[in-house]
Structure formats: C-alpha cells, structure tokens
Amino acid sequence: MDPAKVQAVIDWPVPKSRVELQRFLGFANFYRRFIRNFGQVAAPLTALTSVKTCFKWSVSAQGAFDLLKNRFTSAPILVTPDVSRQFVVEVDASEVGVGAILSQRSLSDDKVHPCAYFSHRLSPSERNYDVGNRELLAIRLALGEWRQWLEGATVPFVVWTDHRNLEYIRSAKRLNARQARWALFFARFEFVISYRPGSKNTKPDALSRLFSSSVASTDPEGILPEGRVVGLTVWGIERQVKQALTQTPSPRACPRNLLFVPVPTRLAVLQWAHSAKLAGHPGVRGTLASIRQRFWWPSREHDTRRFVAACSVCAQTKSGNSPPAGRLRPLPIPSRPWSHIALDFVTGLPSSAGKTVILTVVDRFSKAAHFIPLAKLPSAKETAQIIIENVFRIHGLPSDVVSDRGPQFTSQFWREFCRLIGASVSLSSGFHPQSNGQAERANQTIGRILRSLSFRNPASWSEQLPWAEYAHNSLPSSATGLSHFQSSLGYQPPLFSSQFAESSVPSAQAFVQRCERTWKRVRSALCRYRAQTVRAANKRRTKSPRYCRGQRVWLSTQNLPLKTASRKLTPRFIGPFRISQIINPVAVRLLLPRYLRRVHPVFHVSCVKPVLRAPARLPPPPPPSLSRAHPSTGSVGFWTCVLGAVVIST
C-alpha cells in the first residue's frame, strides 16, 4: 500500500479530550471485525471514555492508539483496488475539513474493506462555503485523489454522503459558477450519489474532523491573552500628540482641559476619531464629538468636514439623505399630435385569449394612447411590424420615438428601422425610467382601469382592453383640460345621438383651422403645465454638481446587477470611475470596467456623486485593509497599537 494513501490515518493526532477519543473509537469500531482481540487492544482507550474517571492520557493508551493505527493501515483490513469490481466512496465534510474512504468488497470474505483514506483541511475561503458546497467539495477532492482508479473503473461506483440534496446535483438545471466547473470534472466519471444518514456515515465524519482542534487553537479566544490584564489605559494618539507638543508650543487660545494638535499630527487625530474600529466611520458630528473630548486646534470643525467628505469608505458604504441631484429636465413639447411617441410594455399579466403582454404607445403631445395586446414580448422586427400596422398607418410616421433600454429598442434592427422612416431614437439613461414617464404613466392608468373592469375575472382583461383604451382617451387631461381625443383629433367623439349636430360650414379648411386652434391651445397649456411641474419637482431635488470630462465619480449600486452574498452589506457606491462624456446637464457617460460591460454606461446624475478631495495638508484616509482583521492569541503588540493601551502581565 502506498503510504500516501493511508497518511490521513497515520497522522491522526493524539486525542486531547474525551470527545476526540470517542470520535477515534467510533472510526475504529467499523473495523473491529477485521482485528483480532480488538476489545483487549482498545481496552486502555475505552476506559478513558468513562465519565467516572478523569481523562488522562497514559503510556498504555498511547500504545493502544499506535497499535490500532498500524492495524488500520495494514492487512487484513486494507485491500488492493481492483478496477473490474465496484468501488464505494464514502465522503463527509465538517466546518474545518473533509474526509473520504475508498472501499471495495473483498472476494475472500465478501466484506467491505477500505482501499485508502483521505483527509483535507479546508482553507479559510473553503470554510465560507455553505453545507451543500462543502459536501460537494468533499466529492470533488475524493474523486480527484483516486481518479486513477475511479476514472478507469469498468463498473459504475457509488458515492455515499449524508447530504440528501446532492442526490440530485447531477440532474440539476441551475448551477452556480463553482458547481458548473465541478460538473465538468464529474462528467469524466460514471457514478451514482446515494444518501446515507449521518449516524451510519461516521467513518468519513471522523476523518473530516481531524483538524478541528488545530483550527480552534489558532483562533483568538479574546482581545487580550490569558494572564494579562489592562492596568492603565492610555490612548496611543494622545501620547503621539504630547510628543509633538514638545517641539510646538500650545497657543493661549487652547482650553486648559484640551490638548493642542500641531499640524503634522492632525491627520492622525482625524483618522483615530473617524477611521478607527472603535469609531466606525461616523459622520461629521460623531467625529467631532470624539475629537472635542481631548483635542483642539483652530480649524478643527472645518478640517473634520473636509476629512469626512473625502473618506472613500464612507463614500462607498453610506447612502445620502439629501434629495436626489439633478433638476427636472422635461423632454421638448411637440407642435402637433403623433409626431413624438413613447413606447413601453406591460408584462406579468395572466393569459387572456392567448395574450399576456400589452404594448403601450403614447402620443407625447395629446397624451392619447393605443394599448395593443400581444401573446409575448416581441422581437425588434415584430415590434416594428406591430407599430406599422397599429400606429403608422393611422397617424403617419413620427419624428422621434422614446423608449426604455429593452432589447427590442437597443438592437441594430430597430435603430436602422427608425433611421429609414426618418425618426430619431431616444433611449432612457441607465436605471432612470423617468425619461419615459409618459408611457410609464399610461401604464399606471390602464392598469387601474383594467383592475376595475376585470377584477372578478382577471383572464378577461383582453376583452376589456378596447373599452379601457376608449375611457383613457375620452377623459380630460390634467395638463390641458381637454380630452386626448380633442387634443389629437380636434373634436370629442359624441356618445349620444343628440350631439350629432351638422356644422354650418362643413368645409375641410374650417376643420383644419379648428384643429390648429385646438393644437395651439393644447401646446400653450402644456408649456404652462410643464413650468408648474418643473417648479414642483425641483423643490424635492438639488442642483447637480458641475461635472467635467475626466472627472472621477462614485456610481450607485442600487440598480446594478452585482453578485454579492448579502445585498445589505454591499457598498452603496462603487468606483471611482471617470466621466468620458457629458451628455446633457443631467446625464453623463462613464468609463466602466469589463465586469460591468452589460450595463449601459450613461447614467442620470442622481446615480453618481463626485469624488471629493481632502485638503493638501490632510490627505484622504487610507482604504480599509483586506488582510485578516484579528491577530493570533499572542499578538499583544497588535492590540497595544490599535488600542494604545499599556498591557501589564500578571
């Protein structure tokens, strides 16, 4: 037998507690039938498991322990692997390691004998895996360790695990990136994963817990090592300021109970009050509260505000409470109906006569809308055909089309289609649906009407949609005071026969003049309404900073598709990124890295904020360290540095 294959048992550490000894004997009991006089050999170890006696390792216990390890790794327990017969792989994972046993049924006694043992200590990153991924990692490592036998086996082998969900891992349709990589490796083997309760899976469980004591010994049990107490607390920053005062005298304006901070040490004081772990990056008020307890200098408040504003950690992890930046910038008002239209989709509807989607088409001048039921979300080519049949043939070709950044509207086909008909394409900026507010508002209206008409039978919404469209277009608009029919057609379709009064001048010229008067009235009302809307909206917004090309900004993560373990602990902003183009006063284009290549680089100014710089004499605080935050148990110097405390040995 290759010694490397049984190294996991040969290196089994001496048990230091009754629990560790019971774990070893539980592993040994599975092989007692292969060891002559097993009860007599293990008697010194079995005696130590009694709670009536004190656990004390003896020479006889050490001899029995070494003898059993020798018996486990020699004949008649171990057998030579035979690729023509079926293998059994038993795996288990704990919080600190994984263990596995390769077994095969012997022809001589028809009993399952081990062929090799395997144990692996988990790295810090592997210990962060969830239970399912740790158990799957155990299978991955075991198959990699014994691939020279398992990959060439003529009979499919069996993998025993105490994690039931892994039985379906090979047929799962959704895998994360790590599982997908492992699935490619598993494709080289022919095996079946079988569930085995943990009570019957104690052999690999014992191997997986070999490292529990060693891992636990490296983790600190407390802030200060045993045998030491804090006799006197003296902040290191205070000591540093006093040392600087030996070269710079304190001015008379400094209060008696406070220490004057010379210029070279002000950065250190600000970092202590703001960036230290005991501070936790508070705001300006909290940082000043810590400084005012002991320190003073003339520009204390001003320097603190500049330092906190320039802190990169606060910029990324804190969300501002101020109103969103960027004054309201409405789209230009058209001069006639159906020259500027807005498109959007309503999805998530129940199936009604085979329809599940509504295409909303809104005239930005008259606010009139068409609601077109569809079976599914169309492609760019299908969308163009629908618009031709339901809009262009009735109202003519538009000069501008506003939409969101759906795949139908960002495709090359749609851009080329709009270019051929002479219409410009206006797409909303990234994560800013207010750019297409006309269609979004129409979606809310049609949703409200359909809920009222079909709440008893939601599957009938497609039958109610024509009535809902008529109701939407016949009601007066709050912006113009006229109905959408009047703003678009120049007249209100009558509902009663008594309203069909013949005009005294039934000429086309009079009709056109009446329409032009109506349109002028509508445009004038829209201009007044837009001014009112801008004033009302800007009361809840702030003026955006003046950005320039090449400036660095932070980008909000509120709508970014980031893959993180916890959304609550994800930074509120990432970056910084440079501005490559100023689209308009409220939209900028950023130079994004490759991992954000699927995100449209144009953002509203409310999604970004500038990177502020600290004054020249106060450079910005250093970024947080990515190294391990907690030292070993004996690192007294580390905590002396962080706390600035005097540690006295007892």
Render pLDDT for 22-44 as a digit per residue (tens, 0 to 9). 877 777 666 665 665 666 677 88
Q: How far apart are CA 280 and CA 300, in angstroms?
A: 20
Q: How far apart are CA 505 and CA 560, in angstroms?
A: 60
Q: How far apart are CA 73 and CA 175, in angstroms?
A: 38
User: Is-contact 560 570, C-beta < 8 A?
Assistant: no
pLDDT for residue 631:
37
Of residues 584, 585, 558, the one with CA closest to residue 572: 558
Q: How far apart are CA 78 and CA 71, in angstroms?
A: 9
Q: How far apart are CA 585 and CA 399, in angstroms?
A: 24
Q: How far apart are CA 346 and CA 365, in angstroms?
A: 22
**How far does Cα 348 stand from its chain's mean position?**
24
Cα torsion at 623, 625, 626, 631 (round to 10°)? -170
Token output for 350: 């129940």
Element (H, E) at 274: helix 263-274
Q: How far apart are CA 379 and CA 650, in angstroms?
A: 77
Low-confidence stretches of the chain (pLDDT beneath 50): 216, 219-234, 503-505, 619, 624-650
Strands (E), 251-410: 259-260, 295-296, 340-346, 357-363, 369-374, 400-403
pLDDT for residue 385:
93
Q: Which residues pair with 195 in a beta bridge?
A: 161
**How far does Cα 642 stand from its chain's mean position?**
32
Residues in contact with 124: Cβ distance below 8 Å, sequence separation at least 6, in sequence order? none
Token output for 401: 């089309």
Helix (H, G, I), strand (E, B) or coil at 488: helix
How many residues does the structure list for the chain? 650
Q: How far apart are CA 412 and CA 539, in angstroms?
A: 40
pLDDT for residue 650:
34
Q: How far apart are CA 387 and CA 396, in angstroms?
A: 11
Q: What's the sign of the alpha-carbon dihedral 150, 92, 134, 192? A: positive
pLDDT for residue 208:
64
The answer for 129, left when phi > 0, alpha when psi is -120 to 50, beta otherwise, is: beta
Q: At what angle do helices 263-274 and 300-309 cross, to 10 degrees?
A: 60
Token output for 582: 């100023």
Kindly give the residue spans of alpha helices, DSSP state H, lying in 379-507: 380-387, 393-395, 407-410, 412-420, 437-454, 461-474, 484-489
User: Is-contact 324 539, C-beta < 8 A?
Assistant: no
Q: DSSP code of 644?
A: -
Helix (H, G, I), strand (E, B) or coil at 251: coil
pLDDT for residue 203:
61
pLDDT for residue 574:
87
Q: How far apart are CA 165 and CA 559, in angstroms?
A: 33
Question: How far from each other are the two terminal CA atoms of the chain, in whole angstroms?
Answer: 53
Token output for 315: 């910029």
Describe the strand order of the beta sheet including 97-105 as a list of residue ranges: 112-121, 97-105, 87-93, 157-161, 191-195
